Structure 1
Amino acid sequence: MLVALVGFWLGMSGHFSPLLLTFGAVSVAVCLILAYRLDIIDREGAPYVRILGYAMYFPWLMKEIVKANITVIRACVKADLDIVPALVKVKTTCRTDLAKVTFANSITLTPGTVTVEVEGDKMLVHALYEQEAQPEAFEDMDRRSRIAADGKGADA
């Protein structure tokens, strides 16, 4: 957290005079003390420890978004509207709230699907095509979002 706060302060300030560097050091120290006292320093409160996991996840997600865009564009361009909307329950293996949010948002970012509700380890997903909205279709995204948010050692 110290590195992130110092980097943020230096990036936003851009001034390196002794007086301003002192003010920056005091500001960072106060923030660290308050974060410690408020007990808000935890694994989920410091997402930069998972930068590598997310850096590997986002290219895959972008590819999935492009593929889903092509499907939705085809549906929109056709003369007959052949969509078969469906609501499906998807069980997730994600354990932490961050992993669940990553998974739910990834579903919603993918055109043609929207996460409607998250309750425990189940998500209600609306999809344009019933045949592509089976719970098994989301297993790869679930696994990848769990690994990105929780790390490779995350329990399934």
Structure 2
Amino acid sequence: MAYFLGLLAALVAFWLGNSGHYKPLMLGFGGISVLLTMILAYRLDIIDREGAPYVRLPQLLKYYPWLAVEVVKSNWIVIRACLRADLDITPTLAKVKTTCKSDLAKVTFANSITMTPGTVTVEIEGDKLLVHGLYENNTEPEGFIEMDTRCAAACDPKEMR
């Protein structure tokens, strides 16, 4: 029941924050959309710890600022590559093993890699991710260990690690 109420509160806050409309008709549309979403989530039996966004908020509030710094650092590398007269990139594919257990953690890790300029997650297969990078030395599997560890700490429940 706590997950249900938490998801309801999160959806209402998300809708109100993104819509910016507080007239009765728009609030009615928002209420209907939240109600339909809650009914679908209940029918699909996806209201659980993994689907509750508020449970991981403290861990994610530590992870995303770190990720933002990593994105800025990678931006400089890509900007330098774009501004050089000679294109010195060495595109490569690498298999990266993850310690993330839940699907949410794996997808968050894959999206974090993709958000970082110069790298793209091409495929997730089990506990391995196929990553394409602009530079071979920036796509080494060892370079993703810290991101993987931080992502697992932020997204995986403690009992899964």
TM-score range, shorter chain: 0.7 to 0.9
Secondary structure at the counterpart of residue 139 of structure 1: helix
- Summarize the Cα distance change of 1:51–1:132 in structure 2 as closer, same or farther, 3 Å threshold: same
Q: Give the share of equivalent positions with the same residue, in percent.
A: 60
Q: Over residues 43-72 of structure 1, what are the superposed CA-to-partner deviations in whole Å (9 max), with x where a residue is unaligned?
A: 111121111111111100010000000000
Question: Which of 31, 42, 46 is 2:48 aligned to?
Answer: 42
Normalised to the residue count of structure 1, the TM-score between the two structures is 0.80
Distance in 1, matches of 2:44 and 2:88, equals: 54
Does the 8 Å CA contact 1:113/1:125 hold for their aligned counterparts? yes
Q: Number of residues paired by the alignment? A: 147
Alignment gaps of 5+ in structure 2 = none
Match of 2:90 in 1: 84
**More displaced, 143-152 or 101-110?**
143-152
- Summarize the Cα distance change of 1:6–1:136 in structure 2 as closer, same or farther, 3 Å threshold: closer
Secondary structure at the counterpart of residue 107 of structure 2: helix
Alignment gaps of 5+ in structure 1 = none
Secondary structure at the counterpart of residue 117 of structure 2: coil
Match of 2:5 in 1: 2
Match of 1:104 in 2: 110
- Summarize the Cα distance change of 1:34–1:66 in structure 2 as closer, same or farther, 3 Å threshold: closer
Does the 8 Å CA contact 2:121/2:131 hold for their aligned counterparts? yes
Query: Is 1:61 equivalent to 2:62 in the alignment?
Result: no
**Aligned Cα root-mean-square deviation (Å):** 2.8
Secondary structure at the counterpart of residue 48 of structure 1: coil
Secondary structure at the counterpart of residue 115 of structure 1: strand
Match of 1:126 in 2: 132
Does the 8 Å CA contact 1:53/1:151 hold for their aligned counterparts? no
Q: Which has the larger radius of gyration?
A: 1
Question: How far is the alpha carbon of 1:80 from its aligned partner?
Answer: 1.2
Normalised to the residue count of structure 2, the TM-score between the two structures is 0.78
